[in-house]
Amino acid sequence: MKRDVLVFGELKSGNLRSVSFEAVAAAKKMAGDGQVVVVLIGEEVQRYPKEMIVYGADRVLTVEHKNLKKATTDGYAQALFKVIEEEQPDGLIFAHTTLGKELASRVASRMEAGLVSDVTGISREEEVIVFTRPFFSGRAFEKKVITEGLMMVTIRPNNIPPLERDPYRIGTVESVDIEIENLRTLITETIDNKRNGLDLSEAKIIVAGGRGVKNAEGFETLEELAEVLGGTVGASRGACDAGFCDYSLQIGQTGKVVTPDLYIACGISGDIQHLAGMSNSKMIVAINKDPEAHIFNVADYGIVGDLFEIVPALVEEVKQM
């Protein structure tokens, strides 16, 4: 089997997102003996092809233009249409991020392609590529195939492991010239809101707080734990609605979907809408003073008690390690 698969290599704040490497691994599974071609769009993208090649890309296409310095769906979609026209790939992979989701739906609509979103696993059954994705807020998984034409998917970060880094791997790098016309929006400045330099949807360790954290000062206690563990802070909608923290931290059905290696839920009751965003985390630790709290149903480890005693004790314990 031979399929050429294009990967949109996503950058954020001047760095390659780790999900871009996971997308290359996903593309390898789809490609068989075909090529994995990564497209990098933006500013000074010439810096990144080598990193994509050592993680499995066969070719890297770089697209630079004065109107593509900051990502807009409009501009990036124009660039992608041009690349797709020239490359005629059999498959196309995006990260299941805000930008990836927007671009994938626009490109799929224009190309009249089948799109499977939020994919967490890819397998091959004889010649057929099967995509696994969660549904019913993560309570069940379904398997999907695209029956004809261009196969498009978005992959959920932290689910498909990247390939092993091979510093001796060889690939080619080509730059693509492109004209960008009639852009309706242009981003002139972005103001980053992420904490600890870590992006919530890609973080390996998340310490999340709920209404039980009581106030914004309570979140400082969680930040301390996140810092000693090398993780970042998230929140329930209860905590965001109460004004304890910013909505960019919200995890759940109407917030971010996360799958870290470790999720520590502090003062979160575990309502279904919150579970939708975190129940596929690899290990869940719940701290709650109510032994009947629903969060304990999905937790691997449960601590019944007051988070204001337990979290500082954990911080001290980790510092001793």
Is 98 flagged in the annotation as binding? no
Residue 269, annotated ligand binder? yes
Give CA separation, 268 vs 56, 131, 226, 247, 296, in Å. Answer: 40, 32, 16, 16, 10
Using the structure block, give the residue that is written with the tokens 């929006």. Answer: 185
225 near ligand FAD, rule: CB under 6 A: no
Q: Considering only 122-130, 195-203, 224-232, 287-295, which stretch makes contact with ligand FAD by CB under 6 A? A: 287-295
Comparing CB distances to ligand FAD, the nearer of 17 and 211 is 211
One of 82, 121, 271, 315 touching ligand FAD (CB under 6 A):
271
Which residues have C-beta within 8 Å of that of residue 61, sequence separation ≥ 6?
Answer: 37, 38, 39, 40, 83, 87, 173, 174, 175, 176
Q: Which stretch binds ligand FAD (CB under 6 A): 52-60, 79-87, 127-135, 270-278?
A: 270-278
Establish if 280 lies at the interface with ligand FAD (CB under 6 A): no
Site string for ligand FAD, 177-216 (x = CB under 6 A): ---------------------------------xxx----
CA atoms within 13 Å, Cβ hemisphere of 189: 1
Q: Nearest distance from residue 281's CB to ligand FAD, in Å?
A: 14
Structure tokens at 307: 């988070």
Q: Residue 86 interacts with ligand FAD (CB under 6 A)? A: no
Interface with ligand FAD, residue 233, by CB under 6 A: no
User: How far apart are CB 320 and ligand FAD at their closest, in Å?
Assistant: 23
**Interacting residues of 304 by C-beta distance below 8 A, sequence separation 6+:** 288, 289, 290, 291
C-alpha distances (whole Å) from 319 to each of 181, 224, 310, 314, 316 are 55, 11, 14, 8, 5
Size of the site for ligand FAD (CB under 6 A): 28
Query: Quick one: 20 or 250, whose CB is closer to ligand FAD?
Result: 250
236 is in an annotated binding site: yes
Query: Which residue of 131, 267, 280, 302 would you call a contact of ligand FAD, by CB under 6 A?
Result: 267
Q: Where are the alpha helices (DSSP H) in 146-286?
A: 216-229, 237-241, 272-278
| 273 known ligand binder | yes
Which range of residues in 80-88, 95-103, 146-154, 262-270 is near ligand FAD by CB under 6 A? 262-270
C-alpha distances (whole Å) from 124 to each of 26, 42, 114, 118, 121 are 11, 33, 17, 18, 10
